[in-house]
Structure 1
């Protein structure tokens, strides 16, 4: 003990290093000889009744020469930096939270489908729209199907509804030549295809899901590039084999196809009609179409394999109001609607002439005065219903009965407003004839009536299917609108008006599409030639292949080939807008209404 105390007194007093372990062993027994030394340098042990002293750690027997060790404060710094860097990382975006983990690598079937889509886009697009849209959509849909199956997704009934509806809408470019119903059909088909890939069901999910395909363009391109790169690294030999086989097949087709085409003129015509017309001059355009088809097909396949769950974005309902505060304004609105509807029922049931006599208005003026106001009233009513449902009382069964009664009455009264607006449009068309704008807004008003019926049904059977039902009704409306051939209906109605009151606006009818040719062909000469002269000239200048020609264009060509229009010159100048202004509702000078 004396030697140890003198040795301790002769040593300088050392304080423990940062991070050292301090053991307080007041009254503790001496350590056994075979107990392992404390871990870490600078271990400090306090003995009973004496000051703390530093004990030298015993290194392991197998250890080599002493290696300088990093102090504890320096060892803690990298950990702090890592934590700081992690804290600086931005939170994941909305798409990262809603999209599942990365899908499996792109499969060969998906790759071939994507490549076929891009190749067909480059070959078939460029001359117009027709069956080529449906042809290109088939391999793109197959690529999405293969990608979804490799990711473990299985089609559901609503997926089939969206997919079949989208393909059906692409039949409109095959049938109709008019650009505006074709554009509506293409946009609706794209929206339904996106819904088929994402499978949304809520209000916000259906709205965002119809546009969700665009969110997968960049991710799909990266996914496809990684898949091609990984497969090229491990299958270079197979790629060379496929390229050689394809090259030999192309050479054989070109050689023997040229021989057969030179041997038989009919076969040459058939081969020329089936082969896409590709020239060197439009190569940049073809490259752009190839890139667009490639990106679109990859986006569809990636969305099918890793869809964004747009239903995960929820909107919290508004704070419920008490019954009086919520119901009183709506009841007042119902009473106002009831008063207006009562007058409209009198008009619809036979008091129309009396109303015109009392107001002193012409039928066309009466119709024009109210249609647009009633259309806006219908739209605002739907907005009022949406806001009322957001802040509706939700206390119990009585509140549900109150909400259904008040809003149900408002929907029923609004349906009468829709009927009145359609009746006014009918009067307007009888006075001025049918135009594209008039038939479009009438179709929108009719669809709004369908939406009101769906809302009434949701109040009875539940609103779980209401968002998807409204989306289906919109797509069905676009499909029916295209199948009915709006340009053909416009031409037919104006021809019927000419037969009844001998007035027609040839200048307007000449601006329609080729879908109007069958109806205009029934006009007597010289009106027929004046109306069809422009169509005959335009069709002669456009030599479109079969895949970019619609049935409306083909039928117009057949009619004009059988009975060509004659050039009438100045004789057609008297059958323009001035002739149409002499009809009912145009008594005043300058009263022509282009609407």
Structure 2
């Protein structure tokens, strides 16, 4: 037995004998089929002494072992991607890498705030923008707060700054009727709200984190659907109770509200002004607004619970240059700026008339010729500073001192260029009057000056807060731009200019928004009626509810109701451009395309 065992163990597993032994062993396990004599019997010894007979090939059983292939190797599916380079893993999605794990199930408070946002969007946003946008934003903000708290996120100071700033910007539609500052305010409010949800602080984080809630829209809808489904499965009785209570409350409000409205005309008027006017014809539009509010609120809540960490995107610094290679172009640029500024100082100190004499330009033409070039010079300087910081030398304290000195000098010189550009715009406006384009580019130039000041401060105190500081300055600029009422400021400047120059472009002023009515109301007749006739007609035809009417529109309607426009059979265009037989400004035409 010992010899037989040693022979069996010394055979290779792939030999025919081993396969036969396996077959015989399997057959021996069945009683009554070719079973060998017991060990120690003569039959057993005789069988052991006989040579092995050649057996017919048999099909191996299913459990014969892993060495028996079931499928040819060339037919098997590859375990890895054949197109993938060896030694590399398949890339993970960017959002998957930057987003934390899935948040907890949506809570009841978050669900209620989301539904309130959707309902208010459908009821209030269909008639235009006004205080309704701020009303809709409040429950959406609460829903994001509840979702963040359930996910364990705490309210940080910068989050509060972004949230409060976004809500403040949404007050602009409630104050101003002009569409262009309202558009800037709404876009800026969405950007600040996105920053509040994502909590970004780096350059990539601030830039990408302010783009909105698009990465969370689909995930937020799935998250809300799963939460509603699970909650309905666990608490069917409570859901039915809430539905019944809501239905009873709505019936009571409708019945008793109708009775009180029919009993008192003043109450009926108040109720009609407060309740939204919903008609069957507006159903598709209201449904779209409901879906938009629902998806937006869910995306905001999901972003608050599981924000995309845009700060995880890192931008590698450029290759550091040596001092001479890096500093020489910037020093030459600083010398060019210094020469230009020296000439500007000479002009400002008394050579202005001489320059106009030599160039043959009028003051307004000289101002217009230089402002746009100086604006582009400021923008390009900021680009140069960003690229210079990317390739700046980073060897030690000496390199840092060189970078701060060269770029700090460039920032200071650029600030003087900004002041020169604003001075030229002032001359330009004095000659031709203030317009929307002129006040817009002047505001942009002023904000670029603020950015330069922030860059100078970052060079002294560190650049850790620079991305967020620039974002705050942009939002504050948009907020201030809306609060000063640009259309009202344009009208006021042109009215004051009429008092000194006796010229005014009535045709242009008639195209402003209702925010300009208080300033235009100060014009003498018949200019006043010529400037306000379009406003009176438009406001009389417009019957907007309170929640979609701005304060500027309400104030203009009150002014025109108190002092209606008078009918004058005069040519208002000729009256506005050549009043009292005078020309525009020292021989210049009062029309200018800019």
User: Aligned equivalents of 2:543 and 2:100: distance in 1?
Assistant: 48
**Residue in 2 that maps onto 1:69:** 63
Bigger Cα displacement from structure 2, 82-91 vs 187-196: 82-91
**Residue in 2 that maps onto 1:455:** 455
**Residue in 2 that maps onto 1:220:** 220
Deviation at 1:232, TM superposition (A): 1.3
User: Aligned with 1:282: secondary structure?
Assistant: helix
- CA deviations on 1:516-574 (whole Å, 9 max, x unpaired) are 00000000111101100000010011111111110000000000000011233443242
Q: TM-score, normalised by structure 1?
A: 0.87
The aligned runs of 1:401-416 (5 Å cut-off) are: 401-416=401-416
**Residue in 1 that maps onto 2:425:** 425
**Residue in 1 that maps onto 2:13:** 16
8 Å CA contact 1:432–1:585 kept in 2: the answer is no
User: Aligned with 2:106: secondary structure?
Assistant: coil
Bigger Cα displacement from structure 2, 409-418 vs 564-573: 564-573
Gaps of 5+ in 2: 19-59
Bigger Cα displacement from structure 2, 240-249 vs 377-386: 240-249
User: In structure 2, do the counterparts of structure 1 residues 262 and 347 end up closer, same or farther at CA, with 3 Å as the change threshold?
Assistant: same
User: In structure 2, do the counterparts of structure 1 residues 463 and 4 end up closer, same or farther at CA, with 3 Å as the change threshold?
Assistant: closer
**Residue in 1 that maps onto 2:124:** 124
- CA deviations on 1:19-55 (whole Å, 9 max, x unpaired) are xx9xxxxxxxxxxxxxxxxxxxxxxxxxxxxxxxxxx
8 Å CA contact 2:503–2:577 kept in 1: the answer is no
**Residue in 2 that maps onto 1:250:** 250
User: Aligned equivalents of 1:408 and 1:271: distance in 2?
Assistant: 62
The aligned runs of 1:248-327 (5 Å cut-off) are: 248-327=248-327
| RMSD, matched Cα | 2.6
User: Aligned equivalents of 2:585 and 2:275: distance in 1?
Assistant: 53
Q: TM-score, normalised by structure 2?
A: 0.87
The aligned runs of 1:29-428 (5 Å cut-off) are: 68-69=62-63, 71-73=65-67, 83-84=79-80, 91-428=91-428
Gaps of 5+ in 1: 22-65
**Residue in 2 that maps onto 1:587:** 588
User: Aligned equivalents of 1:314 and 1:243: distance in 2?
Assistant: 50
Deviation at 1:349, TM superposition (A): 3.5
- CA deviations on 1:435-487 (whole Å, 9 max, x unpaired) are 00000000000000000000000000000000000000000000000000000
8 Å CA contact 2:506–2:573 kept in 1: the answer is no
User: In structure 2, do the counterparts of structure 1 residues 351 and 73 end up closer, same or farther at CA, with 3 Å as the change threshold?
Assistant: farther
8 Å CA contact 1:362–1:585 kept in 2: the answer is no
User: In structure 2, do the counterparts of structure 1 residues 574 and 96 end up closer, same or farther at CA, with 3 Å as the change threshold?
Assistant: same
User: Aligned equivalents of 2:583 and 2:231: distance in 1?
Assistant: 73
User: Aligned equivalents of 1:155 and 1:78: distance in 2?
Assistant: 61
- CA deviations on 1:325-360 (whole Å, 9 max, x unpaired) are 000010000000000011112233443223223322
User: In structure 2, do the counterparts of structure 1 residues 182 and 257 end up closer, same or farther at CA, with 3 Å as the change threshold?
Assistant: same
8 Å CA contact 2:145–2:304 kept in 1: the answer is yes
User: Aligned with 1:218: secondary structure?
Assistant: helix
User: Aligned equivalents of 2:163 and 2:82: distance in 1?
Assistant: 43
The aligned runs of 1:533-544 (5 Å cut-off) are: 533-544=533-544
8 Å CA contact 2:132–2:547 kept in 1: the answer is yes
User: Aligned equivalents of 2:111 and 2:276: distance in 1?
Assistant: 23
8 Å CA contact 1:431–1:585 kept in 2: the answer is no
The aligned runs of 1:546-585 (5 Å cut-off) are: 546-577=546-577, 582-584=583-585
